[in-house]
Homo-oligomer: A and B are copies of this chain.
Amino acid sequence: MFRTHNLGELNITNKDQQVTLCGWVHKTRDLGGMTFIDLRDRYGITQLAFNLEKNSELCLKARSLGREFVIQVAGKVIERSSKNLQISTGEIEIEVLQLNILNISKTPPFTIEDQSDGGDELRMKYRYLDIRRNVIKDNLLLRNKISLETRKYLSNIDFIEVETPYLIKSTPEGARDFIVPSRMNQGQFYALPQSPQTFKQLLMVGGMDKYYQIVKCFRDEDLRADRQPEFTQIDCEMSFVDQEEILMTFEGLTKHLIKEIKGVEINEFPKISYDEAISLYGSDKPDIRFDMKFIDFTKSSKGYNFQVFDNAEIIIGFVVKGCANFSRKQLDKLIDFVKTPQVGATGLIYCKFNEDGTIKSSVDKFFSDEIKNIWKENASCNEGDLLLMMSGETEKTRKALGTLRLKLAEDLNMRNPKEFAPLWVVDFPLLEWDEDSQRYHAMHHPFTAPKTEDIAKIKTDPKSVRANAYDLVLNGNEIGGGSIRIHDKELQKQMFTHLGFTDEEAKEQFGFLMDAFEYGAPPHGGIAFGFDRLCAILGGEESIRDFIAFPKNNSGRDVMIDSPSYISKDQLDELKIRNL
């Protein structure tokens, strides 16, 4: 036995016990006659005490230890004279009688502290050291806990986890596939799954009834910040359910996780339609931890010779409570912000309803106080509030104002990571127009069921057809999305036609699914959660990278193992492929 206890479990109740401990030298402090070592492992830190007078040889050996040396000590648990009540082991220390160096360590390239001096590059290259830091370690422990709780919750309500294959078939629909050359089937390729979508539907056809899987998925996309080529999903599917039942089920899961992980109880999740979300927040994933809903001023604000408004398709704004006292400089900064390419607006109108009853706006030349009081009433403004307005083409203006809304919430510390505001966004459009290919694409995926009452419009007004599709949004992040699927072969065929697939293409790519649907497919639907994102949000962070043990950088490289890499000609020859 290397150790009798870990470094997080000893406390005053263990006083006088003989113990053997192992861990990493976190810190050494020499105080004249005494040397103290903070010994660290995954579970905590335990203080070791060496007395120069009592045992000079041992104490000098202790003093010679470098940071991150791996040691084993035997000794007695004693009460500390100066206690540290911040940590569970803070009332005791170990009077060391034996010290055994298990491994030495070079000086690490950055400090193993909560606030490390390692930059991102260095931390990634030495990720195995980065993981020793509490921050990353705790993230990985959290991730483990979330996956355990997810499995516990779902298996308690009869979901079963089924592993679907990783070596599947490439489909041109959707994002770009990673492909895998087959040696045994020359000239042919597997693809890594972008999601187990078709397999989970086949499992429903197979009568599995309630399926889930915590599973890796792969997309060969150009990586924006905070996207990974491999990522994890909680993938779920249910049979004999309507949309409402799916929402209830996964609202239950989400509540369970927030309660078990964060200790926060949440009531019924609000639901809004996609259209509402766009018109109230300029986003299909609104952060509703704060208000600042959009108000429409289009009718009330035209015809006052203010060309910008008069020529606009839409005039919208929102109220920033208590911020009429924003300085000129603060407002100019906001105007600069909306003009950045990231937002892409041409300008921003403000109107301050001052505490003293006066009104000051950037458009005083055009609008009388009378009009501004109408704005005030429309927006339910009070004295002391600031009104921000934008105008222009509808879609762009909403998006820009939505971005401004988030920025202000950020600046005003309204995005509290300890608060959790989930929201269902429902009634997504079935189709979206793709400029590149000049045709409609499935917004969700080609198996999504249209709303029965909208099917008739599919030819005449495709854009207005709504789907039985839904997203779960948490604190302004889409953490899950899904739909009711088409289980009828004829409707599925129609859909493929509308999506511009020829019969051959549909058969080539989805033939096995359409075949399966001929043998008694049950009504079914499901959802998939972005697990990395969910972990990050429950961990109070926006970036997913530090919730993944070994992430890749923005070029898809693992800088620690230096991958991808060149491979031998022999390997390529065996696969009968060559680099161009």
Contact = CB atoms under 8 A, between A and B. Distances in A.
Interface string A118-147: 000000001111111000010011011001
Contact of A178 (B167, B556, B573): B167
A441 B245 CA distance: 57
Interface residues on A, range: 35 or more
Contacts of A558: 165, 167-169
A426 B571 CA distance: 35
A199 B520 contact: no
A105 B179 contact: no
Residue with the highest number of chain B CB atoms closer than 10 Å, among A128, A230, A558 = A128
7 contacts: A70-B521, A105-B518, A166-B192, A184-B223, A184-B555, A184-B556, A576-B579
A140 to B, nearest CB: 6
A187 to B, nearest CB: 5
Interface in A465-524: 487-488, 511-512, 516, 518-523
B209 A41 contact: yes
Nearest to A68: B520
What is the predominant secondary structure among interface residues of chain A facing chain B?
Answer: loop
B165 A206 contact: no
Interface string A543-559: 00000111010011110
A130 B206 CA distance: 7
Contacts of A102: 487, 522-523
A487 B163 contact: no
A161 B184 contact: no
A156 to B, nearest CB: 10
A239 to B, nearest CB: 8
Contacts of A561: 168-169, 198, 512
Contact of A577 (B516, B522, B580): B580
B144 A160 contact: yes
A43 B207 CA distance: 10
